[in-house]
């Protein structure tokens, strides 16, 4: 690495330290002290509640909170599903695109409802402007706000003593959308438009290249969707190749803005948690764990891609955007899978086996290396509760976290939330490799072919949405199976999380006694990292050994797939 590469890495990591703390404290004020907001913003919020018939002061228990969350997401799914089926008859379709197949409509509606944004289609050739704006962009906002709301409910369950309520789902969703996601999206979209990202409703442009070939240049309201898809850790893209497209990511500045946007809110949410539990040391402990895992993955990814393949004589440029280079491509791959994002600026299938394994492992750890907005925090807190339980066994004391004791019901729910998505991922991958309908979509054989199928289900089951490339996913089989993986990956965790929140909220808080295991120390941070790696390793190491690990060993012997 040269000095420019080091500067590039530093410029990506530094904002996570500089901006996360003040943004996290601002977000705490939005959710817990909305009266401190400017009067015009409070008037806008009140208007939304009146139009929706919502009482924001109604405190919901975990079952009511979950019911509102599920109904709200079901409505979003049905809306996006219908828009796709009937897009040929709807306005704002200058290219006269036909309606999608039912299985693609199902996959896409589930994808955007679960904050996954897996795309089995190319946006510029598959979705009209109306579907992109009214369907997909709106879901980018509300699915992100839903994840943030679920995290808030869990934190309140941990912070409130002897309480039944976890807050109000509608109020949490409205405040997250209006006062956090929307303002930041306006700022990012404005910068992207300034840098040359498309934002219009024009028909596609037919152009002649310097060589005399004919080319169709896609247009559309791209910048507005790109801003929220990055900030909301949604992923996907207005264009099929995501942020490798020059009209979605035209300059180094736009690349840096989009890159930082991937992890900005997830990093800030950690400090929102610290403010809500009135213990900033707890927040810094979790931040240290996440930042350490991010840097470790980044170091391995950069080493693998800069070293390249001995069979090809060094670094591999295939599949990488030359405007951003190898370091820029590796940075994005690690960041987008450390977040629950999924957008790419290079094709991961062209990475070295070790370089491609880092994004896969980031997702296999449960997307807790900052993770999605809200989702990363509640996923990490499940690992925290598991670690506290194990630490309690080691020191011979009843496990407790933030002054609340953990019981057997808590741990059953924690284990369910941690294991259920991984169980579905492994079963679905095995079935797909065993039946003709699954194997028919693979572009490669051997360990690389296994990685294609495994990556798809890991991406869907952890609500990431990034694609390894090489897998033809727009088939009835994969659209349905990946859609089911997204549902399990989202609600298979949210339901246990809210149940844990409800159980913890009803417990009294007591000060830590002598001999209690402190959870805000470097020792606990190391123990937490160990638990995360062991759980991920025990779950996925066998299949990784057959896929990227075997391919890396064979590559060092001069074999490529």
Residues 528-561: tens digit of each pLDDT: 999 999 887 788 888 888 877 787 787 776 666 5
302 alpha-carbon distance from chain centroid: 21
User: Distance between CA atoms of 377 and 381, rounded to whole angstroms?
Assistant: 6
Least Cα distance to 482 among 120, 123, 127, 74 occurs for: 120
Q: At 312, is the pLDDT very low, low, confident or very high (cuts 50, 70, 90)?
A: low
**DSSP codes joined into one string, 405-468:** E--HHHHHHHHHHHHHHHHHHHHHHHHHHHSHHHHTTBS--HHHHHHHHHHHHHHHHTT-----
User: Distance between CA atoms of 501 and 388, rounded to whole angstroms?
Assistant: 16
Q: Is 55 helix (H, G, I), strand (E, B) or coil?
A: coil
- The sign one gets for the Cα dihedral 321, 322, 323, 326 is positive
Higher pLDDT, 320 or 310: 320
The domain limits of the chain are 3-556
- The sign one gets for the Cα dihedral 192, 375, 70, 168 is negative
**Highest-scoring range by mean pLDDT, 147-156, 158-167, 504-513:** 147-156
Q: What's the whole-model pTM score?
A: 0.92
Q: What is the end-to-end Cα distance of the chain in Å, rounded?
A: 27
Tokens of 242: 């995501």
94 alpha-carbon distance from chain centroid: 32
Least Cα distance to 158 among 70, 299, 62 occurs for: 62
Average pLDDT, the chain: 89
CB neighbour class for 342 (10 Å; exposed up to 12, middle 13-18, buried from 19): buried
Say how many residues make up the chain. 561
User: Distance between CA atoms of 463 and 337, rounded to whole angstroms?
Assistant: 10
Q: Which of 45-49, 223-227, 349-353 is least confident?
A: 349-353
User: Distance between CA atoms of 37 and 29, rounded to whole angstroms?
Assistant: 8
Tokens of 245: 């497209």
User: Distance between CA atoms of 192 and 396, rounded to whole angstroms?
Assistant: 55
Read off the pLDDT of residues 44-97 as tens digits, 9 standing for 90 and up.
999 999 999 999 999 999 999 999 999 999 999 999 999 999 999 999 998 889
For residue 40, pLDDT beyond 70: yes
For residue 472, pLDDT beyond 90: no
- Asked if 153 contacts 62 with a C-beta cutoff of 8 angstroms, the reply is yes
Read off the pLDDT of residues 106-135 as tens digits, 9 standing for 90 and up.
999 999 999 998 888 887 888 999 999 999
Q: At 211, is the pLDDT very low, low, confident or very high (cuts 50, 70, 90)?
A: confident
Higher pLDDT, 9 or 342: 9
- Percent of the chain at pLDDT above 70? 97
For residue 502, pLDDT beyond 70: yes
């Amino acid at each position: 690495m040269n000095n420019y590469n080091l500067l590039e890495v530093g410029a990506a990591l530094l904002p996570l330290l500089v901006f996360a703390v003040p943004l996290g404290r601002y977000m705490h004020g939005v959710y817990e002290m909305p009266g401190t907001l400017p009067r015009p913003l409070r008037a806008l919020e009140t208007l939304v509640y009146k139009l929706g018939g919502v009482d924001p002061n109604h405190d919901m228990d975990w079952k009511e909170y979950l019911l509102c969350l599920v109904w709200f997401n079901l409505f979003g799914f049905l809306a996006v599903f219908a828009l796709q089926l009937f897009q040929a008859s709807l306005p704002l379709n200058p290219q006269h695109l036909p309606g999608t197949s039912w299985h693609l409509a199902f996959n896409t509606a589930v994808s955007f409802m679960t904050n996954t944004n897996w795309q089995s289609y190319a946006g510029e050739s598959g979705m009209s402007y109306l579907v992109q704006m009214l369907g997909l962009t709106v879901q980018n906002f509300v699915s992100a706000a839903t994840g943030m709301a679920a995290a808030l409910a869990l934190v309140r369950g941990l912070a409130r003593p002897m309480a039944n309520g976890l807050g109000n789902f509608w109020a949490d969703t409205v405040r997250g959308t209006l006062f956090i996601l929307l303002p930041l999206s306006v700022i990012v979209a404005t910068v992207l438009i300034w840098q040359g990202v498309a934002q219009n409703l024009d028909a596609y442009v037919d152009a002649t290249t310097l060589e005399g070939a004919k080319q169709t240049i896609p247009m559309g309201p791209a910048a507005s969707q790109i801003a929220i898809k990055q900030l909301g850790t949604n992923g996907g893209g207005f264009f099929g190749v995501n942020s490798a497209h020059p009209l979605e990511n035209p300059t180094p500045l736009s690349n840096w803005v989009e890159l930082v946007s991937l992890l900005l809110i997830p990093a800030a949410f950690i400090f929102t948690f610290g403010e809500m539990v009135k213990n900033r040391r707890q927040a810094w402990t979790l931040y240290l764990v996440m930042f350490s895992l991010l840097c470790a993955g980044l170091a391995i990814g950069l080493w693998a891609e800069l070293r390249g393949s001995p069979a090809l004589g060094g670094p591999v440029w295939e599949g990488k955007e030359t405007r951003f280079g190898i370091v820029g491509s590796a940075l994005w791959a690690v960041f987008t899978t450390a977040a629950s994002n999924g957008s790419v600026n290079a094709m991961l299938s062209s990475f070295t086996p070790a370089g491609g394994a880092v994004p896969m492992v980031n997702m296999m750890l449960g997307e807790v290396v900052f993770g999605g907005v809200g989702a990363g925090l509640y996923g990490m807190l499940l690992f925290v509760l598991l670690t506290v339980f194990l630490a309690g066994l080691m020191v011979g004391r009843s496990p407790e976290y933030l002054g609340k004791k953990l019981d057997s019901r808590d741990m059953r729910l924690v284990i369910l939330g941690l294991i259920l998505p991984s169980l579905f991922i492994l079963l679905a991958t095995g079935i797909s490799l065993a039946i003709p309908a699954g194997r028919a979509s693979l572009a490669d054989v051997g360990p690389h072919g296994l990685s294609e199928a495994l990556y798809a289900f890991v991406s869907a089951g952890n609500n990431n949405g990034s694609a390894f490339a090489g897998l033809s996913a727009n088939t009835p089989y994969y659209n349905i199976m990946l859609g089911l993986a997204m549902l399990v990956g989202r609600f298979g965790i949210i339901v246990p999380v809210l149940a844990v929140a409800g159980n913890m909220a009803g417990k009294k808080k007591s000060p830590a006694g002598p001999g209690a295991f402190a959870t805000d120390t470097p020792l606990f941070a190391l123990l937490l990292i160990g638990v995360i790696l062991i759980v991920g390793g025990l779950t996925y190491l066998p299949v990784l050994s057959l896929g990227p690990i075997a391919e890396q060993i064979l590559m060092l012997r001069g074999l490529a797939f």
